[in-house]
């Protein structure tokens, strides 16, 4: 929550629609970075974290300060599993038309995953990037352009 408050006070509405050129060191203190394992991340993973934090801040800012801070903090806590454990990064092989309840997704790496958590959301994208990670209670797939990570299981 401290992180979001700092961003809110420092940068307010400046964020608008783009990702500002704001280094991770200005977003998270060294202590916060160490606590979540940032020093162990590659440059690409640090950039993804920077964008994730900014996206969640923007999501919160758009919904109002208190509710937004709460939602962004909860989201960041849930999604910090991306930083630890195995993460699969790939792209969907072809069209993605959203989540329908039991959606089957074929990835460019040859894996096939099926939705296990009910969620319905229409979103069309051609070959969007995905991140799959172990949430502790199963795997979650985050599709670029869809806010929610959805429970999935590996078919093959």
Quick check: 6 and 20 in contact, CB under 8 A?
Answer: no
Question: pLDDT tens digits, residue range 93-126?
Answer: 999 999 999 999 999 989 999 999 999 999 999 9
Instruction: Give the whole-number percent of the chain exceeding pLDDT 90.
Output: 35
Give pLDDT, residue 27.
76
- Other C-beta atoms closer than 10 Å to the C-beta of 61 total 20
Domain boundaries, the chain: 2-83, 87-154
Integer Cα distance of 16 and 62 in angstroms = 10
Structure tokens of 57? 């801040």
pTM here?
A: 0.49
- How open is the CA angle 20-26-30, to the nearest 5 degrees? 145
Residue for token digits 């919904």? Answer: 63
Whether 11 shows a pLDDT value over 90: the answer reads: no
CA distances from 135 to 7, 87, 103 (A): 27, 10, 19
Whether 18 shows a pLDDT value over 60: the answer reads: no
Please tell me the least confidently modeled range out of 17-31, 56-70, 121-135.
56-70
Quick check: 109 and 88 in contact, CB under 8 A?
Answer: yes
Give pLDDT, residue 1.
43
């Amino acid at each position: 929550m401290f992180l979001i408050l700092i961003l809110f006070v420092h940068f307010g509405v400046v964020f608008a629609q783009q990702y500002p050129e704001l280094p991770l060191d200005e977003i998270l203190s060294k202590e916060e970075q160490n606590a979540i394992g940032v020093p162990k991340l590659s440059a690409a993973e640090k950039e993804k974290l920077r964008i994730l934090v900014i996206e969640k801040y923007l999501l919160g800012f758009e919904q109002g300060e208190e509710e937004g801070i709460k939602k962004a903090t909860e989201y960041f806590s849930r999604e910090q599993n991306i930083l630890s454990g195995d993460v699969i990064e790939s792209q969907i092989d072809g069209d993605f038309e959203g989540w329908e309840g039991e959606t089957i997704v074929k990835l460019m790496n040859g894996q096939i995953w099926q939705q296990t958590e009910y969620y319905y959301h229409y979103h069309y994208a051609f070959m969007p990037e995905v991140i799959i990670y172990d949430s502790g209670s199963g795997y979650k797939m985050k599709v670029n352009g869809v806010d929610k990570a959805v429970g999935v299981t590996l078919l093959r």
